[in-house]
């Protein structure tokens, strides 16, 4: 039941925004009573946290152990390709991710949840570029992160008309 509630909340938050989504509408979409919904989540903010953590956990699965650095070019390529393979079936989460940037009421929560996650993966790419002898590995890792975000946003906006596979190939060539 909890998974169904999280999936329902994800769709509604992505479509109607955090402020435009009520607990009643989430309960209705999930097919549960509003009272039952509160048995699982104290309120809308806790539900949003669960939605975000669920999405982050899917991304975190790309790395066997997020505390280790990417050691090889082959591992780098796998991570980039898997990132975009994961994005295709999760367009709704991606839409929510970008939608939250523009919502001041939830921006602090979003930052609280995502900042440690993003910092951890920037460190992994920073270590990768350090090992390769990059003159400014942190800047290169941040640039890669920005490119990945930009490509994800482009794919979200254009859908299947976006040449995602070709762009992923170019990212790997330019950043490997």
CA distances from 94 to 3, 82, 120, 173 (A): 18, 15, 19, 25
| pLDDT tens column, 1-42 | 999 999 999 889 888 888 889 999 999 999 999 999 999 999
Q: Which fold has domain 1-47?
A: Arc Repressor Mutant, subunit A (1.10.10)
* Closest to 173 measured CA to CA, from 153, 147, 150: 147
**Separation between Cα atoms, residue 93 and residue 75, nearest integer Å:** 25
- Confidence at 101, pLDDT banded by 50, 70, 90: confident
Domain limits of the chain? Answer: 1-47, 62-175
| pLDDT tens column, 106-125 | 778 778 888 888 888 899 99
pLDDT of residue 68: 59
pLDDT of residue 63: 57
Q: What is the pTM of this model?
A: 0.77
- Confidence at 56, pLDDT banded by 50, 70, 90: confident
């Amino acid at each position: 039941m909890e998974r169904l509630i999280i999936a329902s909340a994800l769709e509604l938050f992505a479509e109607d925004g955090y402020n435009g989504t009520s607990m009643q509408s989430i309960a209705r979409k999930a097919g549960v009573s509003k009272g039952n919904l509160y048995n699982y989540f104290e309120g809308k903010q806790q539900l949003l946290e669960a939605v975000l953590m669920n999405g982050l956990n899917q991304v975190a699965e790309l790395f066997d152990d997020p505390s280790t650095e990417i050691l090889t070019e082959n591992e780098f390529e796998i991570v980039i390709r898997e990132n975009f393979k994961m994005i295709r079936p999760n367009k709704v989460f991606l839409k929510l991710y970008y939608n939250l940037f523009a919502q001041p009421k939830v921006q602090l929560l979003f930052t609280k949840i995502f900042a440690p996650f993003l910092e951890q993966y920037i460190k992994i790419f920073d270590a990768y570029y350090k090992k390769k002898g990059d003159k400014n590995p942190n800047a290169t890792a941040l640039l890669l992160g920005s490119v990945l975000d930009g490509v994800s946003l482009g794919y979200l906006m254009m859908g299947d008309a976006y040449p995602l596979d070709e762009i992923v190939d170019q990212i790997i060539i330019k950043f490997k």
